[in-house]
Chain A
Amino acid sequence: MILETKELNYYYQDGESRRFVLKDTNVSFDKGKFYTILGQSGSGKTTLLSLLSAMDTPHNGEVVFDGKNILEIGHDNYRRNKVGIIFQSYNLIPTFTAVENVLVSMSITENELPDDHKTVAYNLLDYIGISQDKANRTVNKLSGGEQQRVAIARALSTNVELILADEPTGNLDEGMEQEIIDIFKKLAHEHNKCVIMVTHSNDIAMQSEQTFYLKKGVLNTNE
């Protein structure tokens, strides 16, 4: 088990009352598996992902990575060295080239990486399906699918075991969507990564090893 949550609570205070987005959530994730979290808009999927990625702090409960509360690891440290995050809107630096975007995260992590960052970045992009020619273009000159591939390469570049993806195919057409899902499956099965993906698509959910359904703040393994 690489990641688990213990009695995780997240709510919005509305006067005297609390509106729970997540209530007493307990879930665990293993390496080498591709997970999906399914739920309707506003069900709290993104909130859960923000807690798992240490972009936010729960009101109660804890997120445990490799047996250690991520608060102890430190949120910045956790994001820098333990997790790779992929967003729906890619979140790449628009004035940088694809390879520069990957190099940015490689320069931020403290994980041990090969000395020649640039070669690693090009190889990684090539593996994800971005040629060297495209890697040298500023990202706003790439298509949506290509930008998401760059974002995946960036998440992988720090040599982390945990990949969190927030509706990464939301802006892509169906063909491109499948290509990205294939990459995630490959990462989980061939590279022993734990890939957790938030989605509202049943088709994608069906391709994962395990799907969690989020409804009214409660996470279930059954719909």
Chain B
Amino acid sequence: MNFLKRGLLSITRRKGKSLILLAVLFILGNVIAGAISISQATANVEESIKDKLGTAATVELDYEELESMDESEMMNFEIQNLDEELINQIGELPYVKYYDYNTTTYLASEEIDSYNGMEEEDGEYIEQGMGMEFQLKGVNYAPVLDIEEGKSNLVEGRVFTEEEIENGTPVAIISKKLAEKNNIQVGDTLSLMNQIYEFSESGEEEITDSRDVPLEVVGIFEPQTVNTDSENQEQADFMDMELQNTIYVANEIVSQEIKYSVGDQAEYEDYFIPAFVLNKPEDAEAFEEEVTPLLPELFIVRHATDSYESIAAPIESMSTLSKYVLIVSIITTILIIGLVVLLFLRDRKHELGIYLSLGESRIRVIGQIVTEVLIVSIIGMTLSLFTGNLLAQTVSDSMIDNDNNNQREEQMYYSEMQTDLTTDDVLEAYEVNLTGEFILLFYAVGIITILLSTLIPLIYIIRLNPKKIMM
């Protein structure tokens, strides 16, 4: 009967005490399992959402910093433009997979109708004159970054060629819905109109000049649909409309049209918004470190993943809370189990003295006690694995509801890197699951905690003097 068998016998022969230990471990195991479940679920959400957000980065003006300036400081501050040379310099860094820079303007059209969103397309919308409804988005990257990154799919035709981008050839890629609405096929030419407005003294706007912008359609794209619930439907509709009415052209074309509309009123300088797609998410930090010193004052690097924090507020708060709960529950477990085991050992002092008087090594006596505690712990942990997971689901559901209602109003802010993903997407991705990874982590944390909790009782065994107990 080795010490392991003695341990097993002790558990079965002291049913009452084993059950008390089991009950305590079950309760504490639930708290630990719940905290780990939530913590891991939030980590999974972060990983999957950041993965969806991609490795894109941009360089843009830090509006928050600008707003924090006082009035006189702001008046004296001259905002610099990002020139093409700097964008290319950054784009050539080894962390960058590919990059683009865009300039945008809005044009009208007499010939084609804009896409007006799902509800309006059903027939209730009444057109009110000709507006600048088409977003002409200039690109420098011929394969088109949005298509390359999977934000849109090319459903017909082709993307641009390097020559078309370089020469500013009047070719365009339009959305499928816009093409369908106006019965445009690849190879057709659509005509947009660039108008110059002036405001009369009475405040009415007057078109003083206009010119046609003919573009040959070389490709048709379809934006990826964003799933939203009814609460965000309005915002989603607006974003969808904007995308459907976007017409990709070479930067040079946009630049010419802006110059035309500005006329000779001011010296025009191109305003580019760069977009860099990095090789891998881990490059983000090094990229930022290298790029920041090159930037004009008040410009900062912004990553697509930055928006995670703003859209994942309820998850983040839950993640923080679960980490605290985990730490507190581990400390509590160490103390409570340590004390319970110590009390039980005091009751068994005589038995331990017998083992020592028979010449059993203290290591084996310790081994027996650790075995007993571990066997009961593993049973308790296995039971709490399932209930703790269920508990985590219930608690996190109610916490998410609470937090989401409280924080919904704080989510809006504008950035070039703003994502289509919303808090609701994050919450949808949140799932408390009984995964293999969770089970392993729970057992590892649990067993280490239990082993730590047996440290104090073990000191008690080491100090036992068999003569004092037995004679």
Contact = CB atoms under 8 A, between A and B. Distances in A.
A93 B361 contact: no
Contacts of B463: none
A103 B1 contact: yes
Contacts of A50: 467, 471
Nearest to A121: B1
B1 A55 contact: no
Given A76-B359, A78-B359, A108-B360, A87 B471 contact: yes
Interface in A63-83: 76-81
B15 to A, nearest CB: 10
B8 to A, nearest CB: 12
B280 interface: no
B14 A104 contact: no
Contact of B359 (A49, A56, A80, A117): A80
Contact of B357 (A91, A95, A106, A138): A91
B353 A91 contact: yes
A54 to B, nearest CB: 9
A80 B358 contact: yes
**A46, A49, A96, most chain B CB atoms within 10 A:** A96
Contacts of B52: none
Contacts of A93: 351, 354
A40 B2 CA distance: 40
B470 A55 contact: yes
A55 B14 contact: no
A105 interface: yes
Contact of B2 (A87, A107, A138): A107
Contacts of B467: 50, 55-56
A56 B357 CA distance: 11
B350 interface: yes
Contact of B1 (A49, A78, A100, A166): A100
A80 B360 contact: yes
A108 B358 contact: yes
Interface in B280-313: none
Nearest to B352: A93
Interface residues of A, number: 32
B10 A87 contact: no
Interface in A24-61: 46, 49-50, 53, 55-56
A129 B134 CA distance: 106
Contacts of A108: 355, 358-360
A69 to B, nearest CB: 17
Given A49-B471, A50-B471, A91-B353, A96 B9 contact: yes
A203 B308 CA distance: 91
Interface in A82-131: 85, 87, 91-96, 100, 103-109, 117
B466 A55 contact: yes
Contacts of A107: 1-3, 5-6
A91 B14 CA distance: 18
Interface residues of B, number: 24
A95 B471 contact: no
Given A50-B467, A56-B467, A96 B13 contact: yes
B1 to A, nearest CB: 4
Nearest to A85: B357
Contact of B470 (A78, A81, A91, A154): A91
A56 B353 CA distance: 13
B350 to A, nearest CB: 7
B361 A92 contact: no
B44 to A, nearest CB: 47
Contacts of A92: 354
A81 B361 CA distance: 12
Contacts of B359: 76-81, 108-109
A87 B471 CA distance: 7
A76 B361 contact: yes
A161 B85 CA distance: 97
A98 to B, nearest CB: 13
A46 B361 contact: no
A77 to B, nearest CB: 7
Nearest to B361: A76
B13 A166 contact: no
Given A91-B353, A108-B359, A109-B359, A100 B471 contact: no
B358 A105 contact: yes
Nearest to B14: A95
Nearest to B469: A91
Interface string B430-451: 0000000000000000000000
A37 to B, nearest CB: 14
A153 B359 CA distance: 16
Contacts of A76: 356, 359-361
Contacts of A77: 359
A81 B360 CA distance: 10
Interface string A197-211: 000000000000000
Contacts of A56: 467
A180 to B, nearest CB: 18
Interface string A3-37: 00000000000000000000000000000000000
Given A76-B359, A104-B354, A104-B355, 7 more contacts: A56-B467, A77-B359, A94-B351, A95-B13, A96-B13, A104-B6, A108-B360
24 contacts: A46-B471, A50-B471, A55-B471, A56-B467, A76-B359, A76-B361, A77-B359, A78-B359, A87-B471, A91-B357, A91-B470, A93-B351, A93-B354, A95-B10, A95-B13, A95-B351, A100-B1, A104-B6, A104-B354, A107-B3, A108-B358, A108-B359, A108-B360, A166-B471
CB-CB nearest 3 A-B residue pairs:
A80-B359, A79-B359, A95-B13
